[in-house]
Chain A
Amino acid sequence: MEIPYTDKARPDTGLYNAKVGIWLFLASEIMLFGALFSSYILLRVGAATGVWPAVKLAWPHHLLNVPIGTFNTAVLITSSVTVVMAWASLKMNNFRRFRMFMVMTIACAIAFLGIKSYEYNEKFTHYELRLKDGKAMTGHLEVNGKHPGFWSSADLWNLPRLTSSNITEVKFVADPMVGHEGHGGHEEMTVKVDEITHLDAFIPRNHTFFAIYFTITALHGFHVLGGALVLAYFAFPGSGMWKTNPEQFTNRIEIGGLFWHFVDLVWIFLFPVVYLL
Chain B
Amino acid sequence: MSLKAFHLVFIVASVLMMTGFSVWGGARWRETGDIVDLCLSVLGGLAAAGLVMYGRYFLKKLKHISYL
Using a CB–CB cutoff of 8 Å, the interface residues on chain A facing chain B are 9, 14-15, 19, 23, 66-67, 70, 73-74, 77, 80-81, 84, 87-88, 91, 254, 257-258, 261-262, 264-265, 268-269, 271-272, 276
Contact = CB atoms under 8 A, between A and B. Distances in A.
Nearest to B36: A67
B1 interface: yes
Contacts of A264: 10
Contact of A80 (B7, B21, B62): B7
Given A67-B36, A81-B54, A261-B3, A14 B68 contact: yes
Given A15-B68, A23-B1, A254-B3, A261 B10 contact: yes
Contacts of B10: 80, 261, 264-265, 268
A66 B44 CA distance: 12
A264 B58 CA distance: 18
B7 A67 contact: no
Interface in B23-51: 24, 36, 40, 43-44, 47, 51
Nearest 7 pairs between A and B by C-beta?
Answer: A257-B3, A84-B7, A254-B3, A261-B6, A14-B68, A268-B13, A268-B17
A261 B7 contact: yes
B3 A87 contact: yes
Contacts, number: 57
Contacts of B58: 84
Contacts of B59: none
Nearest to A13: B68
Nearest to A255: B3
Determine the main DSSP class of B at the interface with A.
helix
B8 to A, nearest CB: 10
B42 to A, nearest CB: 12
A268 B44 CA distance: 13
Contact of A84 (B3, B14, B17): B3
A256 to B, nearest CB: 9
A80 B1 CA distance: 16
A265 B10 CA distance: 6
A254 B36 contact: no
Contacts of B36: 67
Nearest to B47: A74
Contacts of B54: 81
A115 B10 CA distance: 22
A88 B10 CA distance: 16
Nearest to B64: A91
